[in-house]
Structure 1
Amino acid sequence: MSDTARAQKPTLSAYQRWEMASFDPVTVDHSAAEQAALEKHLRRVKDEAHTQGLAQGHVAGQAMGYQAGYEQGLAKGFEDGRKQALAEAARLADLADAFKTALQAADAAVAESLTALALDIAQQVVQQHIALDPTALLSVAREVIAAEPALLGAPHLTVNPADLPVVEAYLLEELQAAGWSVRTDPAIERGGCRAQAATGEIDATNTTRWERVAAALGRTQPW
């Protein structure tokens, strides 16, 4: 360059030189290495986002699965508890029925035993009363005479020969006034009697009266 050119070129200060250079276009050199690094970085960011998305989805899925499992387990537990309660109630009802049946059977057995004992005692008392009290026949005979409907057509009272003196002493006037007569039969046990007439018969023997008492209590017990 000539001296004339140097003389014509303007002289710049240090500040003017920096200010102008700061606005000069920058030449970017996109080399292959930088391009590869950029692509690698982008892939890494994408992979991290994908991984993070999967992790969040897994956590959300676990939470939803836990909630669903909890609700299903709660419903199943409630249903199982209800079924178990119903089964237990049915078992207790069966036990109550069995106990009630057993109690009724026990009550029936006790009642049967008490009835049999009462009949045995009553039988002994009646037999002793008849044997010790000759006038025991009188109340039975009076009931026969006053029975309704009244026997008509030559009614007569049949008693044991050993009871005839008692009947004649205490009942003869009543029998005659009612049109009755007296007969004897050794087959009739003392304390009992039988009334007969054209219109029917009344059996008031000891055996027959006792069988009626036992039958009223639901038992069959011989005199």
Structure 2
Amino acid sequence: MSDSTAPKTSWQRWRMGDLERPRAERPGDRAAQPQRPADKNFDARAELNALRRQVRDQAYQEGHQAGFEAGQKQGYSQGLEQGRRDGEQQAREQAAASLAPLAELAAQFQNAVQTLDRQIADDLVDLALAVGRQLAGEALAAKPEQVLALVRELLHQEPQLGAHPRLWLHPDDLALVEEHLAVELTAAGWQARVDPDLQRGGCRVTGDAGERDASRACRWDMLLAKLRRQPRENET
């Protein structure tokens, strides 16, 4: 076989360096290499973002805490004010409930005092009249001619008693009146009569049309009624 039929290939001379292979990169080799600018920018942005997140989280926590404390303080103040109002209202209600029986007792006491005042007033009137009657009796005994003034008063009033007026007197007073007032009685057309039931110092006048009682008992009763009625009129 001739060499002229064999394919032609390119060839090179073999050298020792051609058999060497690339050496594997070791961890220490990358650290020894200087950091590129792009890597530095990435790390700065990462740190800035982390700082921003930290500041944002801290601000959120502080705002949340401040809002919580403010809300708690406001709620405490509102609760304290509401509690104060509720306490005052409850105190007023309790005071009103406690004072209600006292008000009723005060009203009853006032009524009792008024009743007692009226009773005392009536008792004082009775006492005054009793003393007055005693003194009047003593004065009448010392000065029996007091009946003359009473008879003269009745004569001057000219009571409308109709025809046949008669003057009734105690026996002792009759003699005294006839002695001092006989002319006046005759002029008025009055006739003096004896009434043993009358006390000294009093008299009665009767006629066909009516009667006028001026006895001591009747005059005392009228005076007593007037004195007892006067305090009640002053109350109204």
RMSD: 4.1
**TM-score normalised by structure 2 residue count:** 0.62
Structure 2 partner of 1:163: 173
Which digits, 9 at most, give the CA deviation of each residue in 1:198-223, with x for residues without a partner? 1111011111111111111228xxxx
- Counterpart position of 2:193: 183
User: 1:110, CA displacement in angstroms?
Assistant: 4.3
Q: Aligned partners of 1:27, 1:114: CA distance in 2, in Å? A: 124
1:106-117 correspondence runs (5 A): 107-117=117-127
Of 122-131 and 66-75, the range deviating more from structure 2: 66-75
Identity over aligned pairs, percent: 29
Pair 1:211 & 2:230 matched: no
Superposition deviation, residue 117 in structure 1: 2.4
Q: Would you say the 8 A contact 2:169–2:194 is kept in 1?
A: yes
State the secondary structure of the residue aligned to 1:201. Answer: strand
Q: 1:135: how far off?
A: 0.7
C-alpha deviation, 1:151, in angstroms:
2.3
CA distance in structure 2 between the partners assigned to 1:130 and 1:198 by the alignment: 31
Residue 67 (str. 1) matches residue 74 (str. 2): yes
Q: Equivalents in 1 of 2:189, 2:73: separation in Å?
A: 108
Gaps of 5+ in 1: 1-22, 29-33
Deviation at 1:132, TM superposition (A): 2.3
For the residue of structure 2 that corresponds to 1:153, the secondary structure is coil
Q: What residue in structure 2 maps to residue 123 of structure 1?
A: 133
1:27-46 equivalence runs, <5 A: none
Match of 2:210, as an amino acid?
G
Alignment partner of 1:194 is 2:204: yes
**C-alpha spacing 1:46/1:182, structure 2 compared with 1 (3 Å):** same
Q: TM-score, normalised by structure 1?
A: 0.65
Partner of 1:7: none
Number of aligned positions between the proteins:
187
Higher-Rg member (1/2): 2
